[in-house]
Amino acid sequence: MVLSFVFKAPISTVVRKSKTVALIILCIFAIPSLLIAEFYKWKDEQGSVHFTDNYHNIPEQYRKKVSKTNYGKKKSTKKLSKDTPQRVVVHFEKQDNAIFVNAVLNWKHPVIFHVDTGATSSMITKEDALALGINPDTKPTTKGYIADGSVVEFPVAVISSIRVGEAEVNDVVAAIGNMRLLGMNFLNSFRVDIDAKNGQMVLERMDSVKEKESPSIRAEKDYTIGELENEIEQIEIAVSAQENVIKEIEADIRQNEAGKARVESVLKNMDSGREKKKKKLEETLARFDRNIELQKSEIAIRQKQIEQVRDRITYYDRMIEKMR
């Protein structure tokens, strides 16, 4: 596998690892059938066996004893979606020189990934997994050596789709942890050009021919489309119910305004010397004003909620169109 990376700015200025993100998975050895790189193997002074796909990660004192292994050379099940164009331009945000991109998991769950070319594997959070219907407690685990030399263990799952812009990779193995990382098992499907100055990441397909969509991916897309269409239907029912509530509140406002007008008319025509009665009417008038103000505020809140869920319908419609 040939990886071509062209950076218009030094990596140190493009991606700055935070203390948390510095805990990068350097090798994954619990699920060899899902790995794609050739690995180096060595044993340390304590007798622990280590694997890595990067020769430079091997401590110098062990490099003479290193051996190559076929471990992890089976072809990954992941592949580019047939809908991925030859060239995709993704706009990104930078925070302290770290790159963050918007992405969608399984065609419906939006996330923000930290782009990390030092991470062998991509990672999602437990919350993401649960949103996708994945129970981390029932998934196999993988161990990884991280930057400080210690070993950590993560559940792993196959994500049917990771989409960044128009670039989509199917069946990506992702660790489930406490952060979101877009790692090399997504990025190595492309030639990557990061233009830090203009905030653009260009992804070019490594292959020249688009792969045919697998029946399993097509079936999962159809299932997801059905889920989204059902959710749209439920949202439209909820919107209709909200609109009916708004109509009822508007009717209450009209009644309160009519009552307020009657009180104002009585006050206007009231004879002097009836201060006690006048005070009670003024208190009634103030209650009408408060009720009307509260009811108008409630209408504004409900209209904002309707606007937000209609935006969700628009988003789901776009997702469905892309999956058709």
Q: What is the pLDDT of residue 269?
A: 82
Retrieve residue 1's tokens.
Answer: 């596998």
- Say yes or no to pLDDT of 253 above 70: yes
DSSP codes, 34-101: G--S-EEEEE-TT--EEEES-GGGS-GGGGGG-EEE-TT-SPPS-EE-TT--SEEEEE-EEETTEEEE
Q: What is the pLDDT of residue 17?
A: 38
d(CA 21, CA 183): 11
Rounded to an integer, what distance in angstroms lies between the CA atom of residue 190 and that of residue 101? 16
How remote is the C-alpha of 313 from its chain's centroid? Answer: 17
Single-letter residue type at 95? Q
User: What mean pLDDT is predicted for residues 175-203?
Assistant: 87
122 contacts 172 by C-beta, under 8 angstroms = yes
Per-residue pLDDT of 55-71, as tens digits, reads: 666 788 887 777 765 43
pTM: 0.54
Tell me whether strands 141-145 and 190-195 are parallel, antiparallel or unpaired. Answer: unpaired
Q: Is residue 76's pLDDT more than 70? A: no
Helix (H) or strand (E) holding 150, with range, is none
pLDDT at position 209: 55
Find which of 27-41, 176-190, 211-225 is predicted with most confidence, using mean pLDDT: 176-190
If phi > 0 it is left, if psi is from -120 to 50 it is alpha, else beta; for residue 107 that is left
Domain boundaries, the chain: 5-37+72-211, 217-323
Place of tokens 């471990």: 71
Task: List 49's β-bridge partners, or say none.
Answer: 43
The CATH code for residues 5-37+72-211 is: 2.40.70.10
4-7: list long-range contacts, CB under 8 Å, 24+ apart.
4/191, 4/192, 5/117, 5/191, 5/192, 6/191, 6/192, 6/193, 7/193, 7/194, 7/196
Residue-level pLDDT at 291: 93
